Structure formats: structure tokens, C-alpha cells
Structure 1
Amino acid sequence: MPNEFDEFNAFNQRVIEEFRANRGRVGGPFEGGRLLLLTTEGARSGRPHTTPVGYLPDGAERVLVIASAGGSPRHPAWYHNLLAHPEVTVESGAFTYRARAVPLTGEERDLAFARAVESDPGWAEYQRKTRRVIPVVALYEIGGDGPPNINAGSPAEAIKVVHDAFRRELGLLRQEMARQGPLLGAQLRVNCLTFCHGLHNHHTGEDLGLFPMVAARSPEAEGALVRLKEEHERIAGLIEELRAVVDAGDTESARAEVERLTAELEAHLTYEEEQLIPLLSP
């Protein structure tokens, strides 16, 4: 008969397969949450081990993962692995990248964990169940030459994959805003600002890389590219307005700005897909 460890591994493998098949979207207990796949090198075996873990956005440079193990008395195996081998692989659904894992310490760890609890009280319950201090680990992307590694088979597919990742993150932000009380929580502020930064970087990359490539290959797309660049400028203005109200902690204004951004961004993404995907398809 399968033991508890076998059942846990089988459950994780099903989540991993669903995550990869749906580029980050899963159901069951992880549905509607932020999840990534973390591949570590075994501390003793040296073999790769992939684990689904929840994460917290934490600005432009890193994401945070929490070694809760459901409140177990022992740290999870992936945490021991990254202590021995700090270079790991992260799969976000849309992207795969190498990262450097750094456990947080002292006040930095405590503040990050407090933000996690603020966004989901379940983290506090895990801490109450164990005597160990649950570690918080920062994952810093290791930059490389060339464009990011998008989990797509073609430039046309890559557009849809990246767009859907932004749609999903914006949907999570709207859900979190809807649950928020009169004060804008610290982690929700970080989530908003991280999204704003990521969207700004994406549009900058398109302006400097994708759009010139399309223009060179398909001169007939000039009108569409002009419109897309103008939409980038309008969206940049909305991002700045959202940043301002988030910095001010104004929840009601932040909700309104997120809705404005959602409407503008969805129309933009849809138009871009309609115009560019046919031009980039094999």
C-alpha cells in the first residue's frame, strides 16, 4: 500500500503536470493563488527535485517563498536543498529562469512574514503549529544574455502566453482589492507596485524589440504599431496614477484605478493579439 510520503509525491506530481500544461493555472487547493514551481538540487543526491510552492511578489528584483511545510516540525526538503545549492530554477507559468536563493534573516524576515500573514492568515496558523521559525526565502533572477525564456513554441504563442500571465495577475489584484478593508495592506501595495513595474518593463521591451522586428517584417502593420505605442503611453499614465494612490494607501481610489487599468489593458491586449499574432504565426 502507498504510504503518506508516496501520496504526497503523487499529489505534487499531479500539480506540477497541471501547472505546466496550463502555464501556471491549477485547480484544487491552489486555485486562485500565486504558485510557482521550484526546482532545487538535492543536498545529498545532487538530483533535481521540483516542488510547487506559494510565493509573494516582492518588487522588481525578487519573489519570496515560505518554507512552511504546512506547519510541520521540520523544514521542507526543498529548503535544505537550496541551503546546500542556492542556485535554483523557477517556473512561473509564462517564464522559466535560474535564480539565486537567499534566506531572509532578522527584521527583514519578520517584516516579510508579517506581510504574508496580512495577505493570508493561514501562514500564521502554520507558524503556531510549529516551534521552528518558518523561513522566508528570496529568489533573485539570474540575468542572462538575450530575451527571457518564455514557455512558448513561437513568437506568436509567446505574445498570448505573456498576455495571459498579465491577465491572471490583474485578476488576482482585483480579487484582493475586493476583499481589502479601508486600509491598503502592505503586501497588497507590494503586489500592485510589482505588477505596475512588470507591465512597464513588458511594454518597454515591446517598443524596443518586438515592434521594430514586426515593422521590418511586415510594413503593412505600421498603423497598428502606431496605435499600440499610443496605447502604451496611455497605460503608462494609468500605471502612474495607480502608483500614486497605492503610495497614499487610498483603498477606494486604488480599486477605481485598478478597474480603469483593467478595462484599458484588456482592450489593448486583445487588439495586439488580433493584429500581431497572425503576422508572427508560421
Structure 2
Amino acid sequence: MPDDFHQNVIKEFRANRGKVGGPFEGARLLLLTTTGARSGARHTTPVGYLPDDDGRVLVIASAAGAPRHPAWYHNLVAHPRVTVENGTFTYDAEAVVLRGDERERAFARAVESDDGWAEYQARTTRVIPVVSLLAIEDGPPNVSGETTFGGVLTRIHDGLRREIALIRAEVEASGASLGAQLRINCLALCAGLRNHHTGEDQGMFPMIAQQYPETAPVMARLAEEHKKIDALLAELRRTVSEPAADARATLADVDRLAAELEAHLAYEEAQLIPLFDR
């Protein structure tokens, strides 16, 4: 695609916290920044992604079925340390090109979730690469473009809202049963949301309660809501882990989780953002 098109997508992505319109509307998209294989200059490209196990994400070097690999692929082969922006966090990651059976399984999951990947492969004689991006732990998370506690909280919450909306749309469009990739998407949401709440329970909430004793009832309510949400996450994990996971049952679980989560996020924002602003 022309560079000016990419630049417009990048601007829209950053301005709207990961949401874009046009051909990428409703798609899973991230910004991948690589180091030029020859120039050493930094290049940012919007690419589609798939969640994977262990917190990894996968990107596919399809170039829409072009005869050559995209430039960003050659860059990360030469310089595997890359930067990822997902609309909420910006982080460094290690890029690993999948090989053999691991690549075949990952690409098969991608095709099962969207047959456009198969169409791209059919257009070219090259084997389209699948690349794993694993975050490099290096200090606290960098919440993209935010400098205040209230801004950080809102951006993280909006990322959770966006992810659960994506999964709901994917489940609704899946037919009677869930494919392997959609199961991974659901399990990745469960893991991410539980990690976020664990961090709040063990870090932010005790700190606020200690500094502002008058917030003890609020902190107690938020902690109790975390338990309710954790129970809904456990139910969703059970549903999608069934050998023949039913899409209708999964959609019902996602809807219950979405309703409980939105009420929780709205209450947390209403209580904590004014406190942070003080």
C-alpha cells in the first residue's frame, strides 16, 4: 500500500487509541516499528495480528499475496528487537519467525479465522511467514501517550472494552462452533483481564486505601467486583475449553462478562479519576 495511506492509518490509530476506519475497521491491528535492515532507520507499519499463547502475538507477512516479503519482515529478520503499539501499551518485543509445524499450525488457525489469509497464500509461490512477537519485560508498562494517572486508567479500560467488543463480534460471526484461534482469543482476554485485576488488587488499591483511608468502602467494593468478574472469566474459560465449544454458550458468557465489566469500569473511573485529578 502507498506510504501516505500507511501514514494516515498510523495517525488515526494513535489519535483514536487503536481504532481505525476504512479497510481496517473492526480488525485486529497494531503498529510495528522495525529497524531498517540496510538503513538502520526506524520504520512504523500497521499490520494485522492474532493473539497467541503465553502473551505472544502473531503477525503474518502476507503483503496481500505479493511475490516478495514485505520490507518490515526483512527488517525484523535483520534486527529482531521491535516496538509494538496496540492502542493501549507501547512495548519492545523479540520477533521470532515460526518454522515447520509451529508455523503450519499458526497459519492454519489464521486461515480458519479468516480465509483471506488462504487467498493471499494462493496468490504467491512463496511461503508466507508467520512471526511471533514476545514482549520484553523492561520496567513498568508504558501506556501509550498518557502522562496522568486518570489518563492511564482510562486508556487501559478502553483497551479492555475494545478487546471484549472484538471478541464478541468474532464469536457472533463464528457459526455454530468455535475455531482454535477464537478459543485462543478468548483465553488471552481472560488472562489479560485477570492479570490487570491482580495488579490492582496487589498494588494500586492497597496504595490508595493507605493514602486515602476514606476510600476504604470504594476499594472494598472494587475488590468484590473483581471476584465476580473472576468467576465469569472462569466460566468463559470452561466454555471455550470444551472439545466442541458452542458459540451460543460462549456468546452468552461474553455478554455476561461484558455487562459486569462495563459496570465495574464505569464505577472505578467515576470514583478514582477525580481522586487522581486531585
Query: Hey, what does 1:62 align to over in structure 2?
Result: 56
User: Which of 177, 189, 194 is matched with 1:183 structurally?
Assistant: 177
Superposed CA offset, 1:89-132 (max 9, x none): 00011100000000001111011111111111111111010000
Once residues 54 and 29 of structure 2 are traced to their aligned partners in structure 1, the CA distance between those partners, rounded to angstroms, is 17
Give identity over the alignment, percent: 62
Cα deviations across residues 16-59 of structure 1 (Å, max 9, x unaligned)?
A: 11111111111111110110000000000100000000000113
Residue 89 of structure 1, aligned match among 75, 83, 88: 83
Q: Please point out which of 240, 246, 249 is paired with 1:250.
A: 246
Once the two structures are superposed, what CA deviation does each residue of 1:235-280 show, in whole Å capped at 9, x if it has no partner? 0011001000100113221111111101110100000000011101
Shift of 1:177: 1.1
Counterpart AA for 1:79: Y
Q: CA deviation at 1:61?
A: 2.5
The reply to whether residue 79 of structure 1 matches residue 70 of structure 2 is: no
Matched-pair contact (CA < 8 Å) for 2:55–2:188: no
Distance 1:81 1:94 in 2: 24
Q: Which runs of 5+ in 1 are unaligned?
A: 1-6
CA distance in 2, matches of 1:154, 1:60: 30
TM-fit CA distance, 1:213? 2.1
Letter in 1 for 2:269: E
Look up the SS of the partner of 2:250 in the other structure. Answer: helix
Aligned to 2:194: 200
Distance 1:213 1:78 in 2: 42
**Contact 1:60 1:197 (8 Å CA) reproduced:** no
Kindly indicate whether the alpha-carbon contact (under 8 Å) linking 2:172 and 2:247 is maintained by their aligned counterparts in 1: no
Q: Do the aligned partners of 2:80 and 2:95 also contact (CA within 8 Å) in 1?
A: yes
> What SS does the aligned partner of 1:231 have?
helix
Q: CA deviation at 1:78?
A: 0.3
Separation in structure 2 between the aligned mates of residue 94 and residue 61 of structure 1, nearest angstrom: 15
State the match for 2:149 in structure 1.
Answer: 155
Cα distance per residue 1:206-253 (max 9 Å; x no partner): 111111222233222111110000000110011001000100113221
After superposition, residues 1-282 of structure 1 pair within 5 angstroms as 8-145=2-139, 147-151=140-144, 152-248=146-242, 249-282=245-278
Residue 184 of structure 1 contacts residue 246 of structure 1 at CA under 8 Å; is this kept in 2? yes
Please list every run of at least 4 consecutive aligned residues from structure 1 whose deviation after the TM superposition is greater than 6 angstroms.
none
Counterpart Cα distance in 1 of 2:8 and 2:175 = 36
Deviation string 1:141-198 (CA, Å, 9 cap, x unpaired) is: 00013x2111212111111100000001100111111111122111100000000000
Contact 2:97/2:132, CA 8 A, preserved across alignment: yes
Task: State the AA in 2 paired with 1:31.
Answer: E
Q: Tell me which amino acid in the other structure corresponds to 1:269.
A: L
Give TM-score scaled by structure 2 length. Answer: 0.97
Aligned alpha-carbon RMSD (Å):
1.0
- The residue identity in structure 2 corresponding to 1:272 is E
TM-score normalized by the length of structure 1: 0.96
CA contact (8 A) 2:32 2:82 kept: yes
Structure 2 unmatched runs, 5+:
none
Rounded to whole Å, the distance in 2 between the matches of 1:81 and 1:235 is: 41
Q: Which residue type is aligned with residue 266 of structure 2?
A: T
> SS in structure 2 opposite 1:232?
helix
- What letter matches 2:252 in structure 1? A
